[in-house]
Amino acid sequence: MEFDDQEASSNVEDRRGFGAVGLGGIGLGGIAILVIGYFLGVDPSQLLNLAQQVSVPQQEAPAQHTGPVTDETGHFVAQVLGSTEQVWSGVFEEKGETYAKPHLVLYDGATASACGMGRAAMGPFYCPNDERVYLDLAFFRDLRTRFHAPGNFPEAYVIAHEVGHHVQKLMGISDKMDQLRGHVSRSEFNRASVRLELQADCFAGVWANRAGNRARITDQDIEQGLAAASAIGDDRLQRESQGYVVPESFTHGSSEQRVRWFKRGIESGRVGDCNTFATRSL
């Protein structure tokens, strides 16, 4: 994909190089937490609170760079965010509504969020309380090396997936999920969480469909994106990390399911085709 004339979003907050808590290099343990944080844990608040206990206090307002992000990767992220803003503004307009754009925070190491302290080891996440996507660019390296997802389209897919969670928040879907918490069994909650995650994958596909020509998304990009979706399915991650698969503990869906819903969004480009809550077979 190429973004020659894509306007960069002005909603990127660059906190890199400020107030970061060094992790002293991510070892094996760090990588394990990263996988749990982004791919397995739909409930970042728990992880965040945990992380907070060992991190700097939340009250410390992080210093932040304002103005356009100028480095290559940062600029690319801002362009992807800009592209999602255009696509989702259009979708909301079609329904006679206005899309409230989320912010995206670039950070290294650790940073404060309204969901608690965000740490790079948790991977990218969306905090519904402050409507911000949190991204440490070290994760892009993991995409290439650990998850064998080269090219910039998998990176865009990760951002589009997190923005998908923002769209769910605006549509009131995440609130419904929150109401389930504590009222249903753990495995039932996990099942709902899988539907929420697969819908975010489908929404990422809707973005890819609608951004397609402008972002010059090629068939090869799609292949790489689907390979990334497959690499981060719960079944594959569990098999890699623990050697066996426990479907009741899935919170994001299997590789096959993630590919299927991402693909459905890419092919249809319609939000209505992403109703993962209304289907019997995922």
Cα 135 to Cα 133: distance, rounded to the nearest angstrom? 7
- The nearer residue to Zn ion, 6 or 253, going by C-beta atoms, is 253
Cα 203 to Cα 188: distance, rounded to the nearest angstrom? 23
How are the residues of the chain apportioned to helix, strand and coil, as percentages rounded to the nearest 5?
55, 10, 35
Q: Where does this chain touch Zn ion (CB under 5 A) — which range of 5-13, 108-116, 134-142, 194-202? A: 194-202
- The nearer residue to Zn ion, 82 or 124, going by C-beta atoms, is 124
Cα 34 to Cα 123: distance, rounded to the nearest angstrom? 5
* Stretch 217-256: interaction string toward Zn ion, x if CB under 5 A: ----------------------------------------
Min separation Cβ 165 and Zn ion, Å? 6
Min separation Cβ 63 and Zn ion, Å? 28
* Contact (CB, 8 A) for 49 and 139: no
262 CB neighbour count, 10 Å cutoff? 28
How big is the site for Zn ion, counted in residues (CB under 5 A)?
A: 2
Min separation Cβ 128 and Zn ion, Å? 12
- The nearer residue to Zn ion, 197 or 221, going by C-beta atoms, is 197
Q: How many helices (H) and strands (E) does the chain have?
A: 10, 6
Q: Where does this chain touch Zn ion (CB under 5 A) — which range of 114-122, 198-206, 233-241, 271-279? A: 198-206
* Stretch 150-179: interaction string toward Zn ion, x if CB under 5 A: ------------------------------
- The nearer residue to Zn ion, 197 or 234, going by C-beta atoms, is 197
Question: Could you give the 3-state DSSP secondary structure of residue 171?
Answer: coil
Residue 258 CB-half CA count within 13 A: 27
Q: Where does this chain touch Zn ion (CB under 5 A) — which range of 25-33, 72-80, 104-112, 193-201? A: 193-201
CB within 8 Å of 261: residues ≥ 6 apart: 198, 199, 201, 202, 205, 253, 274, 276, 282
Q: Where does this chain touch Zn ion (CB under 5 A) — which range of 22-30, 103-111, 143-151, 196-204? A: 196-204
- The nearer residue to Zn ion, 38 or 107, going by C-beta atoms, is 38
Locus of tokens 């990009």? 221
**What does the binding site for Zn ion look like in residue numbers (CB under 5 A)?**
197, 200
